[in-house]
Copies of this chain bind each other. A is one copy, B any other.
Amino acid sequence: MSSMTIGKLSAATRVKVTTIRYYESIGLLDEPDRSASGQRLYGDTAVERLGFIRHARDLGFPVPAIRELISLQVEPSWDCAVVDQIARRQLGEVRRRLTQLEALEAELKRMITACEGGKIACCSVLAALGHHEQCLHEEHAGKEVLAARPSN
């Protein structure tokens, strides 16, 4: 029987040890068996489950959506429309952010090319930041545009 400590599981899935414990604390991972001294021991199903979670997180699925996907997996005879809808919702979210980011890229590019060097007093980057009236995008309603998930 293969049983691995949390460090091995971490190496196998490239999920940090602290993150694994965090997933357990929020109920994404089941509580594993423990050794006599209290260390967590995982089997192969934990590797699978954690790989699933990591892939979904990498695709930007929020934790509640992943929780839902996991709970659906134990009902193989149900219709998969629910699963597909979660994925489509996530695709919509990704596309919405893409559109936003394209607008931001356009304005940043415009700002930067407008500046031809010189003194701060006449820097068109600062000018553009100060005057929103001339923006290419009338509404960049993006709060967490970049906050989504920094690379790791």
Contact = CB atoms under 8 A, between A and B. Distances in A.
Interface of A: 12-14, 44-45, 47-48, 51-52, 54-56, 58-60, 62, 69, 72-73, 75-81, 83-84, 87-88, 90-91, 93-98, 100-102, 104-105, 107-109, 111-112, 115, 117-123, 125-126, 129-130, 132, 135, 137, 139-143, 145-146, 148, 150-152
A94 B146 contact: yes
Q: Is the interface of A mostly helix, strand, loop or mixed?
A: helix
A151 to B, nearest CB: 6
A104 B135 CA distance: 28
B69 A146 contact: no
A35 to B, nearest CB: 23
Contact of A120 (B47, B54, B80): B80
Nearest to A105: B94
Contact of A81 (B52, B72, B117, B137): B117
Contacts of A139: 58
